[in-house]
A and B are shown apart, each in its own frame.
Chain A
Amino acid sequence: MANLLWLQSGGCGGCSMSLLAAEGPDLITTLESAGIHLLWHPSLSEQAGSEVRTLLQQILDGEITLDLLCIEGSLMRGPNGSGRFHLFGGTGVAMIEWVRQLAARARYTLAIGSCAAFGGITSAADNHTDATGLQFEGELRGGLLGSDYRSGGELPVVNVAGCPVHPNWVTETLIELALGEGAPERLDPLARPRLYADQLVHHGCTRNEYYEYKASAEQLGQQGCLMEYLGCLGTQAHGDCNTRPWNGEGSCTRGGYACINCTAPEFEAPRHAFMETPKIAGIPVGLPTDMPKAWFVALASLSKAATPQRLRENARSEQLIYPPTPQKRKQ
């Protein structure tokens, strides 16, 4: 059995809430069948108060092995390096101090969500709580544990980034590690599991036909592509949100609003409004991944010229105006 300990700090708890919605099978069954034993999770476990304090001490004393340490929420070092913005309840000790000590004992350390990975929402604006990720501070390596940190299993912190995470991103990463299949080459350059980070949100987007013809929605709620006007970063964002949807059939773009690239460091502080596309000379500043600018401009103007009426009109409407015309067999 692999022992798992889950702690929360400067976040919203939303990654845990998302995880509880794991399906096929449910979370408890998934963990059980992967041989993962939950030492403690703040939403699920019976133990409270002194029982938890005793458990943590036993881990630090080496009496209980810690295989998987999951940290959710950013690590707040303020004010003045004291960590006082979060003293772990009942202990009087800053959560950053607990995390430093426990990470030294862990076989694998996982950052659950973009807060724990990179600092996330809590580090937005002027970051007055001095929030950071475990091993990244925004795009820079370092963070709470430092860039040289390796867990007992010789891995850096595994950044299961997302705001929130998809339940399967967490369960599959845990299973991979529990099976002993974790390896540095299974992580992308931001230490995100390639299990889900090797895809783009654009893949499988239901608005793809609109994207192909640059038939764009101009207002929220319309059916067209969200990239040109409404801030969508799906062509740049890493994640399999549209090939493996959320809560049954959903994703951000299916929900009618932009992908805000929540699996990336510093997504929380764009230099523009989230739901507007910044442009220079009419061309979006962020181009699709691996796309040369000149080609994008050429293809976009060509495809705009070729946009069928069906897509041009439907793109700017909440409801379908023109259904696709049935193809006739050749006479």
Chain B
Amino acid sequence: MSRIIVGPFNRVEGDLDITLDTADGRVQAARVNSTLYRGFEQILLGRPALDALVYTPRICGICSVAQSVACAQALADALGVTATRNGELCRNLTLANESLSDLLTHFYLFFMPDFARAVYADQSWYETVAQRFQAIRGDATRQVLPARAEFLHLMGLLAGKWPHTLSIQPGGSTRPVQRQERLRLLAIISGFRRFLERTLFGDDLERVAALRTPAELDAWRDEKPWQHDDLRTFLHLSDTLALAQLGRASDRFMCVGNYRLEGSSAVPSGVWTPQRGRQPLDPLQIREDVSHAWLRAQAPLHPAQGETQPVAEKADAYSWCKAPRLDGQVMETGALARALVAGDPLLTALVLEQGGTVHTRMLARVLELARMVPKLQQWVQQLAPDEPFCTPAPAPADGEGVGLIEAARGSLGHWVSLRNGRISRYQIIAPTTWNFSPRDQRGQPGALEQALEGAPVRRGEQDPVAVQHIVRSFDPCMVCTVH
């Protein structure tokens, strides 16, 4: 048995290192260390209630709007205010704008560049892939950055700027949309759609979104050579490198639901396992375990009673991250979980065959792009410029509130308590807190820690390339993780 430490990790948001015990060319055990602690849950204590809308987006520069939306929903719950219909539409649009930008950024800038590494130089596909996806120098970066920036013009119109807006309020949006702006929004989304069709899918969005079985996906792929578009390139690489056999975790998936509009959610909530399919989710079964975190020892607590007290030294601790568990179980969250809970037939069939793997996690993100863009177009059409956008929030007093939403990377929860209009408790569980949690008091490794067990390590590799693929397949956001 030998031990290696991999870090710093890049092309993830924030900082991370991982300790790997290896033997016989395989990872035997992994310990994931979230290396950064800032303490937002303490910073918020005692501030006026609505100030949380200034602080919480600044937890994370890549999930900023997701943090704003979870915060606004938690405050709305605590204050007893209902957002206007226009306000909900604007919230959904800005949240989807951020999430889809993140899915795109992850595919092109964070995940694919690893296939341009020198370790693959002997592969037949190498030159084509390196030319396209090499970090910084590849052609793809130059196409994706302008497309992403143009798509984010939606934020300029609806949120003032990105990241870190204050337009998302408990009662709706501070940014009424005028008639000409509604048309501009449609044009921005259409531009993004064309980019995806030309570059990522090489096909009409609807055709890709409508693929329902693994056989249909294979048939679609075989219509064109693998170099035709970036999705086919990914499928080709995934095949030749067997990404479908890499990075399986616990195969227990969770989604808290997303994109609320007048009481219903466009993305349903639930738990999904291969054995039992979809089950309802009970958020009251969530507990955060601190046994392996540099936090004051205590029994696992529900976040509505949660505490965050850092300690510099503690036996058995190896991360600043808490270990959230649902009814004692490790959960994986993200685009794949959303697809499974929503009953997506293609991804359900693939996960029943191969589990949650590098292949299925990546495919779920790409398909979510295809399926969400038409939703954005519908939401813009539903905006009513003559109707109200924001209901004023009542003066804060005492109350408790919960905000549960899906960020790009998975389930995000805010739990707030107010006393005399000020924040007396604020607890946050971010998607990567679930996925990259350390062990719990029963010794159960977190989802990534499980996914890394068994990963191949080539002779002499200091930063195993398989580990890079697995880590990035979760699209971690480390600044959110500990916050």
- Mark A residues whose CB is within 8 Å of B: 8-18, 20-23, 26-29, 38, 40-53, 76, 79-80, 82, 84-92, 121-122, 124-126, 128-129, 131, 163-164, 219-221, 245-258, 260, 272-275, 318-320
Contact = CB atoms under 8 A, between A and B. Distances in A.
Q: Of A17, A28, A43, A121, which is in contact with the most chain B CB atoms at under 10 Å from its CB?
A: A17
Interface stretch (B173-181, B295-303, B329-337, B362-370): B173-181
Interface in B152-174: 152-167, 169, 172-174
B451 interface: no
Contact of B169 (A13, A15, A220): A220
B283 interface: no
Nearest to A219: B392
Contacts of B116: 46
Q: Of B36, B114, B149, B158, which is in contact with the most chain A CB atoms at under 10 Å from its CB?
A: B36
B160 A257 contact: yes
A102 B107 CA distance: 32
A12 B479 contact: yes
Interface residues of B, number: 89
A275 B11 CA distance: 35
Interface of B: 5-11, 13-17, 33, 35-39, 42-48, 50-51, 53-55, 58-62, 64, 105, 109-110, 113-114, 116-117, 134-136, 141-142, 145-146, 148-150, 152-167, 169, 172-176, 178, 310, 312, 320, 385-386, 388-390, 392, 462-463, 468, 479
Contacts of B152: 21, 247-248
Contacts of A10: 36, 38
Contacts of A8: 14-15
Given A28-B141, A28-B142, A274-B50, A256 B11 contact: no
Majority secondary structure of chain A interface residues (helix, strand, loop or mixed): loop
Given A13-B14, A248-B150, 16 more contacts: A13-B60, A22-B145, A28-B145, A42-B8, A49-B7, A89-B33, A121-B55, A128-B310, A247-B149, A248-B156, A249-B157, A250-B160, A255-B167, A256-B167, A256-B176, A275-B166
Nearest 10 pairs between A and B by C-beta? A255-B160, A14-B61, A90-B7, A256-B174, A250-B156, A247-B156, A89-B7, A248-B153, A89-B8, A49-B463
A27 to B, nearest CB: 6
A48 B463 contact: yes
Contacts of B43: 121-122, 124-125
Given A27-B145, A89-B7, A251-B160, A16 B61 contact: yes
A127 B44 CA distance: 11
Given A38-B136, A219-B392, A256-B174, A26 B149 contact: yes
Contacts of A272: 48
Contacts of B109: 20, 43-44
6 contacts: A21-B162, A220-B174, A245-B156, A247-B161, A274-B53, A275-B53
B436 to A, nearest CB: 13
Nearest to B169: A220
B135 A248 contact: no
Contacts of A29: 142
Given A44-B109, A84-B312, A125 B45 contact: yes
Contacts of B479: 11-13
Nearest to A241: B161
A164 B159 contact: no
